[in-house]
Amino acid sequence: MPEVELSAGPIEYTDTGGDGPVLVFLHGVTIDSTVWRNVVAELGDSYRCVRPTWPLGSHRKPMRPDADLSLRGLGLLVGEFLERLDLRDVTLVLNDWGGGQLLLTEGRTERLARVVLTACEAFDNYPPGLPGRMLALTTKVPGGLKVLLSLLRFRFVQRAPGAWGWMSKRPVPAEVMHGWFEPARSRPEIRRDLARYGASMPPKRTLLDWAERMRSFTGPVLVVWATEDKLMPREHGRRLAELFPDGRLVEVEDSYTLIPEDQPALLAETIREFVVDTPVMRARD
């Protein structure tokens, strides 16, 4: 797997290459880029799909001890990743983790043509729901993360209602979830990175201010939200679409937060239609 050295440390990624429109996919906490595997397969070779594994607990190479792994720090690191790979006219696609929205908050959007917000953290919903609060709590208890991740090796814990069972309606393949949890479960330096992120959440008033400042982004924004989502409030989808001058909302049935797992074909088609309908020149106007 190729990697790029950023100020925080090495970031591994996959890149399908090609001359098609550039799509950059970001994933959630204790998840890696494989969550997008089925969406990318559906998109075929008409797009250049770039999938970094972000340092959110499923990364395999630890970050530097002095790296800024706060929500803001990791959000702005996305811009550094785009710059280092010289990616332009990017469609930035988020799911679960909302930190990439900090590029919009800070106005660092010169490489973005459009944005897709897929059932992700927004407004003051950081960390989201009971699973998010459990993760945040365990980062503050010595040994807590190690215990939690040890429990997540069991399938009945992974699918338990109120925990990971609320992430997707359909079970994620066991080998995929093993890949997600194993780095932090087996390596203390990865747990260290995850704990530093989990302890970094700013006050709700700061989160709401960051969300409000995203209005300055005038490019096309597609909000894809799951109607049955138990972690990301349904009204947040509508609020996000209304926040942007060129925002639109698509609601997806029969899915929880991980729409790339529950409805990959539908999501891929929705993204394809959005990119075709919003050419780069329109995004630049």
What residue has token string 């087996």? Answer: 186
Decide: 61 and 3 in contact? Cβ < 8 Å: yes
Is the pLDDT assigned to residue 132 strictly greater than 90? no
* Strand 3-6 relative to strand 247-252, pairing: unpaired
- Of 163, 76, 152, nearest to 128 (Cα)? 163
Mean pLDDT value of segment 31-58:
97
Using pLDDT thresholds of 50, 70 and 90, give the confidence band for residue 1: confident
Mean pLDDT value of segment 33-54:
97
Query: What percentage of the chain carries pLDDT values higher than 70?
Result: 94
Quick one: pLDDT at residue 137?
74
Using pLDDT thresholds of 50, 70 and 90, give the confidence band for residue 145: confident
Is the pLDDT assigned to residue 25 strictly greater than 80? yes
Alpha-carbon distance 75 to 89, whole Å? Answer: 18
Using pLDDT thresholds of 50, 70 and 90, give the confidence band for residue 283: very low
DSSP code, position 59: -
Quick one: pLDDT at residue 267?
98
Q: What is the pLDDT of residues 156-201, one digit of tens each?
A: 666 777 677 889 999 999 999 999 999 999 999 999 999 999 888 8
Using pLDDT thresholds of 50, 70 and 90, give the confidence band for residue 281: very low
Quick one: pLDDT at residue 142?
72
Quick one: pLDDT at residue 284?
41
Q: What is the pLDDT of residues 47-88, one digit of tens each?
A: 999 999 999 999 999 999 999 999 999 999 999 999 999 999
What residue has token string 């995929």? Answer: 176
The mean of the pLDDT values for the chain is 92
User: Which of 14-28, 125-139, 141-155 is predicted with the least confidence, judged by mean pLDDT?
Assistant: 141-155
Decide: 99 and 55 in contact? Cβ < 8 Å: no
Using pLDDT thresholds of 50, 70 and 90, give the confidence band for residue 95: very high
- Burial class from Cβ neighbours inside 10 Å (0-12, 13-18, 19+) for residue 249 reads middle
Is the pLDDT assigned to residue 282 strictly greater than 50? no
Quick one: pLDDT at residue 154?
66
